[in-house]
Amino acid sequence: MIPYGKQSLDEADIAAVVSTLRGDWLTQGPAVPAFEDAFAAKVGAKYAVAVNSGTAALHAIMRALNVGQDDEVIVPPITFTASANCAAFEGATPVFVDVDPETLLIDPVAVERAITPRTRAIVAVDYTGHPCDYDALREIANRHQIALVADACHSPGASYKGRAVGTLADLTAFSFHPVKHITTGEGGLVSTDNPVYAEAMRDFRTHGITKDPARFLGLEEDAPYAMPDASSSSAIAEQGPWYYEMHSLGYNYRMPDINAALGLSQLTKLDAFVARRRKIAARYQSAFELAKGVRPLRVREWANPAWHLFVVRIDFATVGRTRTEVMQELREQGIGTQVHYIPVHLQPFYRRHFNTALGQCPVAETAYVELLSLPMYPAMTDDDVDTVINAVSKTVCGK
């Protein structure tokens, strides 16, 4: 079976995890900061904050930006639900805007039209691993003084006009789920150059608790900064080595050391994984270039994508077979495919709670009925890719 996606793990990855298991820390040990430092260096960002999923990374971003009730966050519908949910978690309203018909990336013209006095942030999703048009989005964000967030869960290792994903937005979210470029089992991370955001996200992932004496407020309103000494007015003001303070309502979103150790080992292979994905994409592209009925998404000249997914559009009505039938026929030939994504604004939750509706994002809705993700993972051999090409050509084009 050739699945649509799959992790690549080797003996070095296994040894890294085993060595953490034999050590003193399963969580909150040295592997997390080591992974954060290595990842920040890799993408060229000043700070990296590791968390336990890409969803947690997006949620931490919303909290760092103080997004809340009455705020709006602009997001495209062709994405995983978490890109929008992060705003809803904090009581804000995700505002869905349509996508570019050729790349299916958020359309800057649609973004501009959707901005209101309540808009606080744009979440740009690098769908399939292709970076969004960050210069256009940056210009809009600066002019309206709103934050630019990158959901780069599909695009570690990608670049935009030669600049690495991870530094193009104010905050960038990554996911390390097994089908992504590198994995920590489950895991996520935010990169940013802003120290205030980084500190807010570190608090948020640990219950909103700080152990930094320089930031202590004191438990008694009248005795801030009191240190344990005999002159202390009250025993309650004593701050000993056990002492910590909770300043905000946070979560336990920490990445365990076991996972970070795997991430550190995987990170050394990111470039090789991306290079292989690019080769596979090139093979698909040249095979489908002239094929009737199978249309790969367009790649902009300013993008060097990281190819999390290889998505094609198929006009199933013209082909005379439903998408389910095509997927089933491919499965019978040992090929796994997927659909990314059901437009998020059509999900019952959003229709029910945010009054979204069919017709709101026509480009995304039209694209959705044609989308099919073909297998894409670094361990695919050229023979595997050719097997997929032949099976898809036969099933869809009849040859």
Ligand X SMILES: Cc1ncc(COP(=O)(O)O)c(C=O)c1O
Q: Which residues are catalytic?
A: 180
Closest CA to 41 of 241, 341, 264: 264
Shortest approach of ligand X to residue 378 CB, angstroms?
18
CB 159 within 8 A of CB 131: yes
Contacts of 324 (CB under 8 A, 6+ apart): none
Shortest approach of ligand X to residue 154 CB, angstroms?
6
Amino acid at residue number 116? T
The tokens describing 209, both together, are 């608790």
Largest CA distance in the chain: 88
The tokens describing 192, both together, are 């940013």
Angle between helices 257-267 and 31-43 (to 10 degrees): 30
Shortest approach of ligand X to residue 288 CB, angstroms?
23
Shortest approach of ligand X to residue 55 CB, angstroms?
3
Of 5 and 208, the one with the shorter C-beta distance to ligand X is: 5
Shortest approach of ligand X to residue 24 CB, angstroms?
27
Give me the residues that bind ligand X (CB under 6 A), please: 53-55, 79-80, 82-83, 125, 151, 153-154, 175, 177, 188
Angle between helices 257-267 and 11-22 (to 10 degrees): 150
Of 82 and 363, the one with the shorter C-beta distance to ligand X is: 82
Of 60 and 153, the one with the shorter C-beta distance to ligand X is: 153
Amino acid at residue number 375? P
Of 43 and 82, the one with the shorter C-beta distance to ligand X is: 82
330: burial class by Cβ within 10 Å (0-12, 13-18, 19+)? buried
Closest CA to 101 of 90, 91, 109, 112: 109
Of 2 and 125, the one with the shorter C-beta distance to ligand X is: 125
Of 57 and 314, the one with the shorter C-beta distance to ligand X is: 57
Total count of residues recorded for the chain: 399
Q: How far apart are CA 200 and CA 2, in angstroms?
A: 42
Closest CA to 264 of 6, 18, 38: 38
Shortest approach of ligand X to residue 185 CB, angstroms?
10
Q: Which residue is nearest to ligand X (CB)?
A: 54
